[in-house]
Structure 1
Amino acid sequence: MSMRSLRVMRSYSKTDIPCAGCKLLRKRCSKDCIFVPYFPSTEPGKFAGVHRIFGASNLSKILRDIPVIHRGDAVDSMVYEADARLKDPVYGCVSSIASLQNQVSQLQSELVKALAETISLRAQLAEVLSAFPCANNQTMERIDGNECLNSSALGQAYSQDPMFDFPHLLK
């Protein structure tokens, strides 16, 4: 159990204030109430949303089936899902996930466009430098290699991250 859960349980035993679940259900809160550590009386809205979507009986069954160390995360997840389901009864949190996936797709396409533009600019730079007689083979190798991109701080960060290694785009 987390420290917060223990504090809530200790405060419960001292003051006999029912948890938010028992308060909403208008029943007596016992010492072994499963809702006490996760739904303190100070957060009644948290339990109300979860109760409206999942129901108190289902919620208690779910919590009893989960190991104690994972219950806090499960409650947080159910609270998030219940809030999303109350805002969007049809899709719930799936609409948020779809929106984030669309953003990822857009950013990936922007990245590909930026890499294509980098390749184009590299080719132009190589063409311009080849016209100068003072440009030696070492300079051209730096351009053909990845060192022009690596010279900037941003380029160094991308060149060291294998996720941004696009050899098929650079050839």
Structure 2
Amino acid sequence: MQVLILGLVLWTAAHLFRRVLPGLRARLGEGPGKMLVAVLSLAAVFLMVIGYRRAEVDPVYTPMDGIGHLNNLLMLIALFLFGVSHSKGRVKAMVRHPMLWSVVIWAVAHLLVNGDLASLVMFGWLGLWALVEIVLINAQVEWKRPAPGPLRSDAIALVIALVLYGLIAGVHIWLGYNPFLGTYG
């Protein structure tokens, strides 16, 4: 569990660096600052994956039967929002922080189907991190709502989300967690 928590702390520190210590980040410069965040983020993901896979399964609660179907829907929405953050469609003009909201939805979706301590720590922490990031950004930066783009951009983001959803579902099946059974336990 310590490796998982170390990864979560590293992830949080790397991503809150700009919001909490803007002067230090500015002194590093744009390129080196982004490189530092990228390197720390990759290290954090590595530690989180290793830590999560090594963690013992300590049940905290039992997910409801069939809740995996809601998880699947939420995951599709999360992937779509993640893609929208990189598009210029209509949804991006309606939703501030689509990437961070996708993390929140992803975390909630996984908390619905995973009732063990390691899942609670990892998904709960990352969901809370995204919410804190949203609050900090909103407090520091005024949102200039972008002009709505073409619906075609949103359609492309949806197609990409569906393809990624299929790939992610395939990886989950390969790992022994078939997301289409409705229940994972």
Compare CA radii of gyration and give the structure with the larger one.
1
| Interval containing the TM-score (normalised by the shorter chain) | under 0.3
Normalised by the length of structure 2, the TM-score is 0.21
After TM superposition, the score normalised by the length of structure 1 is 0.22
